[in-house]
Amino acid sequence: MNRTLTIIISFALALLLHPQDIYAQNKKTDSLLAITKNGSDKQKIEALNALVNIVVYDKPEEAKAYAFRSIALAEKISYDPGLGDAYTRIGIAYDISGKYDSSIYYYEKALPIYNELNNLKGRGSALNNLGLIYWNLADYERALQYFFDALKDFESIGNDRYQANALNNIGLVYDETQHFQQALAYHQKARVVYEKINDPYLKGAVYNNLGNTFLSINQLDSAEVYYLDAINMHVEAKDDYGLSIAYNGYASILLSKNKLDESLQYYQKSLQLKEALNESLGQTTAFINMAEIFRRKKNNALEIQTLLKAKDIAEKNNFKKELITIYEKLSVFYEPSNVPLSFEYYKKYNQVKDTVFNETSNRQITELNTKYETGKKELRLKQQDLQLTRKNLLLAGISVALVLMGLLGISFYKRYKLKQEKNFQLAMMKQQDQATRDVIEAEENERKRIAADLHDGVGQMMSAAKMNLSVFENELEFSTDQQRTSFENVISLVDESCREIRSVSHQMMPNALLKRGLSSAVKEFIDKIDARVIRVSLHTEGLDERIDKNTETVLYRVIQECVNNVMKHAQASQLDISIMKDKDGISASIEDNGKGFDTSSRQHFEGIGIKNILSRINYLRGTVEFDSSPGKGTLVAIHVPVSE
């Protein structure tokens, strides 16, 4: 049976607005933008956070840009309430985009702020969202712990809506671990509250989840009723995200009834909404289910095309649960025509499966326990036959011992296998790190050599040539003024060449970087930029002490490359550079007001400059985010962890 996506009620929305509120808030966008320009610093932060509310589901990249601006301003003025909310909001944007590592990072940065402020609503929201991410990553034990912690906070503030949302999400975990009766119980508790407050968005969400659970236990009629109700609710709430999941669920019902054409139609509707929302997990699930339809229709070309699309998205986002299904289907597809490729996908299927929750093993353990308890009852009923009882107990003991020995052997084998894989991965990472370090060091050494040769060799020769020409000028007798002017032009060219050689030499290896560090080097670099061409502002914080030499050099080169890209391509009039160091690492942002570009187009990331930026930051185990759109300028956000 095809599993549908489960709709999640993100408690970042405990702080944000519901979709019907978001629709109303769209009219306030202009006034909020005006506040971001003319209001006080705190008003700007609140306005930026409110703008995230409005666009986060439809335009997550735009939401990130607003959140980054809010974070920078809140950190600048030490405004913790706004900073905690901004961290939570940017966590939502990354969550919606399927970038769970970044989302976890920002939610966890929000938690200590909420603890300090004793903001139970904010803390509960962050905890609940962390639970949802770990639910998506199949870490069910951790997800359940976060949900119950969130529920405690929401019970403390006495808000039924928040408690119902947490109850609904607890039901998700029980549904995923096949504890379907518990899942139904928690979803029904949430449903009662949502129907009482008559919120179409939340009603649609819990109807979807109830439909999913009834589909899992093959009660198709009940599932169909809830999915159709969910579609109506999400249409009323103007909630494309929930509607996409309702379409997906209803399509699964039609597929279970073998209504292939109708099912394909609803999967395609769901896919269109998921693509518009840039929601990677939903796209993956839709493609998997559509591939199943094409398989039943015996359309091999569309089946493999759709499966490969699902594979690309799942591998890019590390969707382990979906990869298990995809690799298994690809292995089966290629088995008749390409046995080696089929075997490769089968190996991938087993590798991923070993890392995820093993439901089969849990069921086997439960069955053994049931048999053991049944055996004890039977033994008590046959106590008259003492000899038979002893034999049965002996057999039971041997069986249990064999099972335990088998499980112990499997456990030792898996530990050994994991240890070997870990050692291999560590060795590979060490080799890759050393290779990258050698390349960068060789590059920097070559820069130093060339800079020295230019300055001490070519530069000195050009200076000598200029001096000789100047002496020669005094000895020459020019017959015309034109000859004198031509000779003076030659001297001017030689002089300009000397200055150009010194400039190139200094750019290749600036003395400020060697002597005074990153902040001074960047300042010296931008001071040479003509303000009539572009205005550049620089803000640094926490760079009083020198940092690791390699980190310093790499960051300088990356910032230099970014600034050069802005000057060459952006047609900008303003460039803002911020470099900050704290206990978590070094953060840098380069933001211009230029013409921007489409970040979804791959051709913009094929250039040598951007590839150099990405490879250098990857070497430092850092991250780079490009946030831009045509006509909206460009923000490059860099974070490099502190070297241990």
What is residue 371's predicted lDDT score, i.e. its pLDDT?
A: 40
Does residue 403 sit in the same domain as residue 521? no
Secondary structure (DSSP) of 327-392:
HHHHHHHHTTT-HHHHHHHHHHHHHHHHHS--HHHHHHHHHHHHHHHHHHHHHHHTTT-HHHHHHH
For residue 143, tell me if it sits in a domain: no
What is residue 503's predicted lDDT score, i.e. its pLDDT?
A: 61
Does residue 523 sit in the same domain as residue 554? yes
Q: What is the pLDDT of residues 358-398, one digit of tens each?
A: 544 443 334 333 343 444 444 454 455 556 656 777 777 78
Number of domains in the chain: 4
What is residue 517's predicted lDDT score, i.e. its pLDDT?
A: 78
For residue 225, tell me if it sits in a domain: no
| Residue 569 reports pLDDT greater than 80 | yes
Secondary structure (DSSP) of 37-63:
HHS-HHHHHHHHHHHHHHHTTT-HHHH
Does residue 499 sit in the same domain as residue 517? no
Which amino acid is it at 632? K
123-127, 319-323, 520-524, 634-638: least confidently modelled range: 520-524
Report d(CA 354, CA 401) in Å as an integer.
25
| Residue 76 reports pLDDT greater than 70 | yes
For residue 496, tell me if it sits in a domain: yes
Q: Grade residue 112 by pLDDT with cuts at 50, 70 and 90.
A: very high
What is residue 637's predicted lDDT score, i.e. its pLDDT?
A: 92
Does residue 482 sit in the same domain as residue 529? no
What CATH number does the domain containing 70 carry? 1.25.40.10
Position with higher pLDDT, 25 vs 210: 210
What is residue 439's predicted lDDT score, i.e. its pLDDT?
A: 60
For residue 2, tell me if it sits in a domain: no
Report d(CA 442, CA 430) in Å as an integer.
18
For residue 374, tell me if it sits in a domain: yes
Does residue 541 sit in the same domain as residue 587? yes
Does residue 540 sit in the same domain as residue 623? yes
Single out the residue in 460, 492, 508 at which a domain terminates. 508
| Residue 269 reports pLDDT greater than 50 | yes
Position with higher pLDDT, 297 vs 410: 297
Q: What is the pTM of this model?
A: 0.43
Q: What is the pLDDT of residues 480-531, one digit of tens each?
A: 878 778 777 777 777 777 766 666 655 555 655 656 778 888 888 888 887 8
Is 131 in contact with 169 (CB distance < 8 Å)? yes
Task: Find the mean pLDDT for residues 578-601.
Answer: 87
Report d(CA 180, CA 466) in Å as an integer.
88
Does residue 470 sit in the same domain as residue 580? no
Q: How far is the CA of 196 from the CAs of 193, 246, 475, in angstroms?
A: 5, 21, 103
Question: In this structure, what are the phi and psi dihedrals at residue 462, rounded to the nearest 5 degrees?
Answer: -65, -40
Single out the residue in 439, 473, 495 at which a domain terminates. 439
Does residue 501 sit in the same domain as residue 516? no
7-21, 48-62, 132-146, 150-164: least confidently modelled range: 7-21
Among 307, 281, 309, smallest CA distance to 292 is for 307
For residue 175, tell me if it sits in a domain: no
| Token output for 322 | 């979906």
What is residue 443's predicted lDDT score, i.e. its pLDDT?
A: 64
> What percent of the chain has a predicted confidence (pLDDT) above 90?
28
Q: Name the DSSP class of 297.
A: T
For 41, the domain range is: 9-117
| Residue 117 reports pLDDT greater than 90 | yes
Single out the residue in 508, 538, 560 at which a domain terminates. 508
Report d(CA 182, CA 437) in Å as an integer.
53
Does residue 430 sit in the same domain as residue 368? yes
- Quick one: 485 exposed, middle or buried, by C-beta within 10 A (0-12, 13-18, 19+)? exposed
Q: Grade residue 264 by pLDDT with cuts at 50, 70 and 90.
A: very high
What CATH number does the domain containing 566 carry? 3.30.565.10
Does residue 460 sit in the same domain as residue 423? no
For 396-406, letters b (16+ CB in 10 Å) and e give eeeeeeeeeee
447 — alpha (psi -120 to 50), left (phi > 0) or beta?
alpha
Q: What is the pLDDT of residues 180-194, one digit of tens each?
A: 999 999 999 989 888
97-111, 335-349, 537-551: least confidently modelled range: 537-551
What is residue 9's predicted lDDT score, i.e. its pLDDT?
A: 46
| Token output for 92 | 């939502």
Does residue 87 sit in the same domain as residue 54? yes
Average pLDDT of every residue of the chain: 80
For residue 267, tell me if it sits in a domain: no
Does residue 492 sit in the same domain as residue 542? no
Q: What is the pLDDT of residues 229-252, one digit of tens each?
A: 989 998 998 888 889 888 988 998
Q: Name the DSSP class of 571.
A: -
For residue 282, tell me if it sits in a domain: no
Which amino acid is it at 34? A
Q: Grade residue 446 by pLDDT with cuts at 50, 70 and 90.
A: low
What is residue 421's predicted lDDT score, i.e. its pLDDT?
A: 75
Report CA dihedral (485, 489, 495, 501) to the nearest 10 degrees. Answer: 180
